[in-house]
Amino acid sequence: MGSDRPGKVAILGGGIAGLAFALRYRQLGGQVSIHERALPRKSEGLGFIVQGNGLRALAQVGRRQAVESRAYRLSGCSVRDHLGHTLIEKDLSAAKGISRSALLEALRETLPSECIQYGRRFSHFEYASSGHARRAVFENGEKVEADLFLGCDGGQSRVRAQIFPDAAPAPARVREIVSVVKSDFLVARNARRLNKIRHSGGGLALGMVPASGDRLIWFLQFDAERYRLSKTDPQSLENFVRSLTREWAGDAGLLSAATNFQHSWVCEASYLEPLEAYFHQNIALLGDAAHALPSFTSQGVSTAVEDAVVLAEALVSDQHTSLHAALFAYSETRKRALHPLLEQGKRLQEEFLDPPHAGQQIPLAGSG
Q: Can you tell me the distance from the alpha carbon of 122 to that of 153, in angstroms, rounded to the nearest whole number?
A: 9
220: three-class secondary structure by DSSP: strand
Provide the residue-wise pLDDT of the chain in tens; the chain has 368 residues. 655 668 899 999 999 999 999 999 999 999 999 999 988 765 556 788 999 999 999 999 999 999 999 999 999 999 999 999 999 898 888 899 999 999 999 999 999 999 999 999 999 999 999 999 999 999 999 999 999 999 999 999 999 999 999 998 888 899 999 999 999 999 999 999 999 999 999 999 999 999 999 999 999 999 999 999 999 999 999 999 999 999 998 888 899 999 999 999 999 888 999 999 999 999 999 999 999 999 899 999 999 999 999 999 999 998 999 999 999 999 999 999 999 999 999 999 999 999 987 677 777 767 44
Yes or no: say if 344 and 297 are a contact pair by the CB < 8 Å rule. yes
Backbone angles phi, psi at 167, to 5 degrees: -90, 125
Residue 130 backbone phi and psi in degrees, to 5:
-75, -15
CA distance 240 to 83: 19
CATH number of 2-51+100-170+273-350: 3.50.50.60
User: What percent of the chain is helix, strand and coil (3-state, nearest 5)?
Assistant: 35, 25, 40
Q: Tell me if 150 sits within 8 A of 278, measured CB to CB.
A: no
Looking at the DSSP bridge assignments, the partners of residue 177 are 220, 266
Contact 278, 291 (CB under 8 A): yes
The structure's pTM equals 0.94
CA-nearest of 83, 28, 32 to 286 is: 32
